[in-house]
Amino acid sequence: MHLNGPPSQAIRARRSVRNYSPEAIPPDLLRQLNEACADTTRSPFGETASFQIIEKPFKRGEPVKLGNYGLQRNPRYFFVGSITRSPTALMGYGYLLEHLVLRATELGLGTCWMGYFNPEFFPEVTGDGLTPAIAIVGKMEKPRIGEKIMRSAIKADKRKDRSTFFFDGDFDRPLSRSDAGEYENPLEMLRLGPSSGNTQCWRIVRGHGNVFHFHMRIVKKKYHAAGMHHVDIGIAMAHFELAAREASLDGEWRVEDPRLALPDVTEYRVSWFPV
Ligand SMILES: Cc1cc2nc3c(=O)[nH]c(=O)nc-3n(C[C@H](O)[C@H](O)[C@H](O)COP(=O)(O)O)c2cc1C
């Protein structure tokens, strides 16, 4: 699936929206979202996936609930997908669904990832694939006060300093902006990505020849247990790759552990190899 505009623009514009208009998404936009879903079928790891938009306006007193409705106002449309099971499926799912989130963003719609949702709310999803998370999509309204308080509590507008995330050669040496060179923007776009509870579990080490080794720090056991940190890494892959390709930096993803000395609770996941 391709974005129409520059990915960096959509990445900078995106933020989680929790207050939606109850209005319908205009048919032309809905058609474009459905086309994007139809085009989002294969992860870089080779898993196959299918995504759809499910319309389910919120009704008070429904017997089957979506999840933490308290935070979400007037959710009506949902990106819901299913991916074939494999050791990398959660990352593959994060990668693919983030492409759809960014497509919706460039169409001027609001989105919010939801890791905590009730699968019974979506009986439309059948088969034995995985649905680790969903995303709300819709016309946005201005944030309410409760949402502002919640965003400030989880520091949603903040990202840790780049020295927390990016390293050169090994985990002892931070990667400076100037040393990152043409990969500085892809790394910055990764840093702006959404993550479960804003935990920002990405830890990236650049190796020889601009190979980037993506590691995952288990920042919160609760999110890790639900598979959310793996999804977060997939989202980071999407941002990094989209911004790299925007700068005509081509590459491919391979799981080839460089076996670096690792800090506590940090695991290798995947690497970007320039081609
Ligand atoms: C995998 C994943 C799961 C998430 N689950 C939820 C959720 O269940 N409820 C919610 O309100 N926000 C959820 N979020 C949104 C994050 O809280 C949000 O991305 C983070 O605070 C950063 O804020 P931003 O997206 O506005 O940049 C989730 C995000 C990700 C990536």
The pick from 195, 224, 229, 232 for probing ligand 1's pocket by mutation, whose C-beta has the most ligand atoms within 8 angstroms, reads 195
Sole residue written with tokens 């804003």:
198
- The confidence band for 68, taking pLDDT boundaries of 50, 70 and 90, is low
- Output 26 or 127, whichever has higher pLDDT: 26
- The confidence band for 250, taking pLDDT boundaries of 50, 70 and 90, is very high
pLDDT at res. 127: 87
Distance 18 CA to ligand 1 centre (A): 10
Distance 208 CA to ligand 1 centre (A): 33
CA distance 228 to 120: 19
**pLDDT over 70 at 69, yes or no:** no
CA distance 99 to 37: 10
CA distance 187 to 106: 20
Question: Token pair of 5, please?
Answer: 């505009």
Q: Per-residue pLDDT tens for 162-219?
A: 999 999 999 999 999 999 999 999 999 999 999 999 999 999 999 999 999 999 999 9
pLDDT at res. 59: 75
pLDDT at res. 266: 98
Distance 11 CA to ligand 1 centre (A): 15
Residue type, position 107, single letter: L
pLDDT at res. 145: 83
Least confident among 35-39, 73-77, 250-254: 73-77
- The confidence band for 63, taking pLDDT boundaries of 50, 70 and 90, is low
The mean of the pLDDT values for the chain is 94
Give the residue-averaged pLDDT of 215-233: 97
Q: Cβ neighbours of residue 21 under 8 Å, at least 6 residues apart?
A: 74, 138, 139, 140, 141
Q: Per-residue pLDDT tens for 127-155?
A: 899 999 999 999 999 888 888 888 888 88
Residue type, position 27, single letter: P
**pLDDT over 80 at 67, yes or no:** no
The pick from 100, 114, 117, 224 for probing ligand 1's pocket by mutation, whose C-beta has the most ligand atoms within 8 angstroms, reads 114
Please tell me the residue having the least CA distance from ligand 1 atom 29.
196
Ordered by where they begin, the domains of the chain are 7-149 (3.40.109.10), 162-274 (3.40.109.30)
Least confident among 19-28, 99-108, 151-160: 151-160
3-class SS of residue 271: strand
**pLDDT over 80 at 42, yes or no:** yes
Please tell me the residue having the least CA distance from ligand 1 atom 8.
114
Distance 173 CA to ligand 1 centre (A): 30
Stretch (H or E) spanning 272:
strand 266-274
Whether 197 is in the pocket of ligand 1, judged by its Cβ within 6 Å, is yes
Q: Per-residue pLDDT tens for 230-247?
A: 999 999 999 999 999 999
pLDDT at res. 70: 54
Closest alpha carbon to 103 in 201, 34, 159: 34
Question: Token pair of 260, please?
Answer: 């670096």
Q: Per-residue pLDDT tens for 71-92?
A: 788 999 999 999 999 999 999 9
